[in-house]
Amino acid sequence: MSNLYTQQSSNITKTWLFLAFFLVLVIAIGFVFAQALGNPTILYAAVGLALVLNVGSYWYSDKLVLGISKAKPADEQVYIELHRIVENLAITAGLPKPRVYVMQEPQPNAFATGRDPKHAVIAVTTGLIDVLDRKELEGVIAHELAHIGNRDMLLTTVVVVLAGFISILSDMFLRWQFYGGHRRSTSREGNQAAGIFMIVALVLAIIGPLLALLIRLAISRKREFLADASGAMLTRYPEGLASALQKISAYPQTARVATKPTASLFIANPFRGKRLSALFMTHPPIEERVKALLDNVKE
């Protein structure tokens, strides 16, 4: 079974491969847009901004996510049991104890963030503490520690940033075309290459953001299954995490502290309402995750 001991090295490699792929995608889109509009500055700006966003998300992702989620440090006297669970499971996992934060939010949920295990954070909602028993809470914390051990947080954060940047690039190009950029960039008669680049650019502007979104969601769903398996191995009690996931999914209200960019970081989808197509879900269906956990118990 995949776990944070056997998968950590593989995940680090995959992380850099995914980052390289997204950077190549950004460069390719920037190049095509620059050729279509006859302005090489667009390519330089795209690459420069992508690198700046990458570096910024690496160093400041935890502060940004915690600020957006309104998370505050968990007082060690008030949340003594939570700190004990985090510390004990971190020792079991062979990880430094992450900083512990709490969000004043009734929906039970949690996430991990930070650029590496030494700078990791686990944030839980007050609803999670109120609703779950100790075994279930241990299951959730173990899941988040698995994300930390598997080095998922950096990949998730940077992919979110780059996917958003691709959407911004595409939106800027389409707006440029709408406001007359097409006439200015295709005024050179007989330039077949410019016409071809324009067609390719329009296609990329439309499908680029969708492709980036699908890749981001696919990565997120795959990492959730792996973190479930790794977390269950840490606690040696898959039923605890399975029960926690069922309670979390049963809560009827959307988390007020969640936003679309941060949704994929949570252990379960923080939004409620109409069921989305499985293709566009930030998390695997809870039923599938619970089944996978309980099937391991039977084996």
Handedness of CA 293, 297, 298, 299 (dihedral sign): positive
Q: Which regions of the chain does DSSP assign to beta strands (E)?
A: 71-73, 99-103, 110-113, 121-125
What does the alpha-carbon distance between residue 22 and residue 156 come to, in Å, rounded to a whole number? 12
The residue type found at 165 is: F
Is 144 a catalytic site residue? yes
CA dihedral 118, 54, 257, 143 (to 10 degrees): -40
CA dihedral 66, 89, 295, 113 (to 10 degrees): 20
Give the pair of three-digit tokens for residue 170.
């595409």
What does the alpha-carbon distance between residue 152 and residue 162 come to, in Å, rounded to a whole number? 16
Looking at 144, 224, 239, 288, which residue is catalytic? 144
- Relative orientation angle of helices 134-149 and 192-235, to the nearest 10 degrees: 140
Instruction: Give 157's contacts (C-beta < 8 A, 6+ positions apart).
Output: 57, 58, 61, 65, 113, 265
Instruction: Give 95's contacts (C-beta < 8 A, 6+ positions apart).
Output: 117, 120, 145, 148, 149
The residue type found at 211 is: L
Catalytically active residues, by annotation: 144
